[in-house]
Amino acid sequence: MTELSEVVQSLKAERSHPLCAYIYDLGHLKRHASRCIETLPATCRLFYAVKANSEEPILRALAPIVHGFEVASLGEVEKVRSVAPDAPILFGGPGKTDAEIEGALQHRVSLLHVESAHELRRVDYLAGRAGRVADILLRVNLRGPLPSATLYMAGKPTQFGIDEEDIPAVIGLAKRCQHVRLRGFHFHSISNDLDATGHAHLVAHYLRLTRTWAARFSLDIAYVNAGGGLGVNYRQLDKQFDWEAFTTELNQLLPDECPPGATILFECGRYMTAACGAYAVEVLDIKRNHGKDYVIVRGGTHHFRLPSSWQHSHPFTLVPLEGWTAPIERPELRDGTITVVGQLCTPKDVLAYDVAVERVRVGDVILFQYAGAYGWSISHHDFLSHPHPEQIFLEGGAC
Ligand SMILES: *Cc1c(COP(=O)(O)O)cnc(C)c1O
């Protein structure tokens, strides 16, 4: 982090306007991804879920490392293909259009994740029309209960997947389709799970269900996609998802639980890219209203919607910057408790709240950590028409 604050100082020195930038450390990203791949159990493959951050340098950095990419639109397929013409791609998501299914087949997507019986019939029809056989996984919406996490895609009513109760009927339908080949099942049930051992047990639950269906319907299972959902702890930065515990537990479970000959797929977004990115914003003003201290920064939730989406106070560090040259007093707050807000005209534009700081001054820079996943990519960039943040990709190894 010291090195990143040096980066901020040199960026600031080169600019006359207030700093507002996403800063990504590609060296950190590549090291993190490589470590994950190297320590993955032999029967597992790790894909990157593109929606977490689809900036080209991120995809380019990951392409030689990960086993492939998971996408949820034709736009994402095209982004992947522009940097990795031959990488394996998994295509999922509800409400695929004809153009998306046809485009996926043209772009040689490895597996289509089918989300409903109607979608299965459409994939069969469109693959037949293209003279193809599509390899598919059926996406399962489990009955639950599921372990605790921040978001739930299954285990309760949602728009995702096929109700576990309906899976037998849809397997029957898939078997009657001539232009699809059922290769296994897809389970992406929760997001931001921080319990590594619990997550491994959830994977084991997926594998047991798959074996039950495989036996009952004489299926040859090539893949079980266990989804993403490995968490990032935004509240306690020193208590991150324990990858080592996760892989150790998997190594113990897999020999008994994995269907013979099957490969287990993971498609992680947040866990891959959150840590490599920071959102750096300069303090524009400091003021007190109704007894509370507000720090207003150049930027806001239109660039970084995650804290407002999840209603959390996002972790940050402060980079003190010297060289104040304005011919007026520099506002400063000492030993205060601050709420950090952006430039938007809505009280919801809050990035962090009730954080104790020793000193903050106008012209200092606030660095929001773990901003590399679901940061810029999920934000409503043009609300209020402020300039966009710079996107800075460091090749070397700051952080
Ligand atoms: C978003 C998504 C992922 C990635 O989820 P993370 O929580 O970021 O790991 C994986 N699979 C599917 C189907 C998704 O929709």
| CATH superfamily assigned to domain 88-268 | Alanine racemase (3.20.20.10)
Phi, psi of 369 (to 5 degrees): -85, 170
398 vs 80: CA distance, rounded Å: 26
Give distance in angstroms: CA of 89 to centre of ligand 1.
14
Ligand 1 pocket residue status of 76, Cβ below 6 Å: no
Tokens of 142: 């489990």
Ligand 1 pocket residue status of 268, Cβ below 6 Å: yes
Is 70 within 8 Å of 46 (Cβ atoms)? Answer: no
Provide the residue type at 288 as one letter: R
Say if residue 291 is exposed, middle or buried (CB neighbours under 10 Å; 0-12, 13-18, 19+).
Answer: exposed
The alpha helices in 130-166, defined as continuous H runs, are: none
Is the peptide bond preceding residue 145 cis, with omega within 30 degrees of 0?
yes
Ligand 1 pocket residue status of 228, Cβ below 6 Å: yes
Ligand 1 pocket residue status of 161, Cβ below 6 Å: no
Catalytic residues: 345
Give distance in angstroms: CA of 42 to centre of ligand 1.
22
Query: What local confidence, expressed as pLDDT, does residue 2 receive?
Result: 59
Is 12 within 8 Å of 383 (Cβ atoms)? Answer: no
Give distance in angstroms: CA of 228 to centre of ligand 1.
5
pLDDT in tens, the chain (399 residues): 458 999 999 999 999 999 999 999 999 999 999 999 999 999 999 999 999 999 999 999 999 999 999 999 999 999 999 999 999 999 999 999 999 999 999 999 999 999 999 999 999 999 999 999 999 999 999 987 777 777 888 888 889 999 999 999 999 999 999 999 999 999 999 999 999 999 999 999 999 999 999 999 999 999 999 999 999 999 999 999 999 999 999 999 999 999 999 999 999 999 999 999 999 999 999 999 999 999 999 999 999 999 999 999 999 999 999 989 999 999 999 999 999 999 999 999 999 999 999 999 999 999 999 999 999 999 999 999 999 999 999 987 544
Provide the residue type at 237 as one letter: L
Cβ-proximal residues to 382 (8 Å cutoff; 6+ apart), any chain? 302
Is 101 within 8 Å of 76 (Cβ atoms)? Answer: no
pTM: 0.96
* Closest ligand 1 atom number to CA of residue 270: 8
In terms of DSSP bridges, do strands 365-368 and 162-163 run parallel, antiparallel, or are they unpaired?
unpaired
Ligand 1 pocket residue status of 186, Cβ below 6 Å: no
Ligand 1 pocket residue status of 52, Cβ below 6 Å: yes
Cβ-proximal residues to 395 (8 Å cutoff; 6+ apart), any chain? 26, 27
CB atoms within 10 A of CB 31: 15
Phi, psi of 141 (to 5 degrees): -100, 100
Query: What local confidence, expressed as pLDDT, does residue 32 receive?
Result: 98
226 vs 198: CA distance, rounded Å: 13
CA 74 to chain centre: 18
| CATH superfamily assigned to domain 2-24+276-394 | Lyase, Ornithine Decarboxylase; Chain A, domain 1 (2.40.37.10)
* Closest ligand 1 atom number to CA of residue 230: 9
Q: Whose CA is nearest to atom 7 of ligand 1?
A: 229
Query: For 250, how many CA atoms within 13 A lie in the half-sphere containing its CB?
Result: 25
Say if residue 312 is exposed, middle or buried (CB neighbours under 10 Å; 0-12, 13-18, 19+).
Answer: middle
Give distance in angstroms: CA of 65 to centre of ligand 1.
19
DSSP secondary structure, 308-335, as one string: HHHT-PPPEEEE-------SS---EEEE
Tokens of 271: 């866990």
Ligand 1 pocket residue status of 267, Cβ below 6 Å: yes
- With tokens 């060296």, the residue in question is 27
Q: Any idea what the Cα angle at residue 227 is, between residues 199 and 215, rounded to 5°?
A: 85
* Start-to-end C-alpha separation, the chain: 5
Instruction: Calculate the alpha carbon distances from 178 to 6, 170, 181, 344 in Å.
Output: 60, 14, 8, 54
Specify the length of the chain in residues: 399
Instruction: Calculate the alpha carbon distances from 397 to 22, 27, 28, 296 in Å.
Output: 16, 5, 6, 30
Ligand 1 pocket residue status of 269, Cβ below 6 Å: yes
Provide the residue type at 94 as one letter: P
* Closest ligand 1 atom number to CA of residue 139: 13
**Positions of E strands within 229-349:** 263-268, 277-289, 292-297, 316-319, 332-341
Give distance in angstroms: CA of 327 to centre of ligand 1.
50
Is 95 within 8 Å of 73 (Cβ atoms)? Answer: no
* Closest ligand 1 atom number to CA of residue 268: 9
Give distance in angstroms: CA of 383 to centre of ligand 1.
26
63 vs 83: CA distance, rounded Å: 7
Ligand 1 pocket residue status of 375, Cβ below 6 Å: no
Each domain of the chain, given as residue ranges in start order, spans 2-24+276-394, 88-268
Is 45 within 8 Å of 67 (Cβ atoms)? Answer: yes
Q: Whose CA is nearest to atom 5 of ligand 1?
A: 228
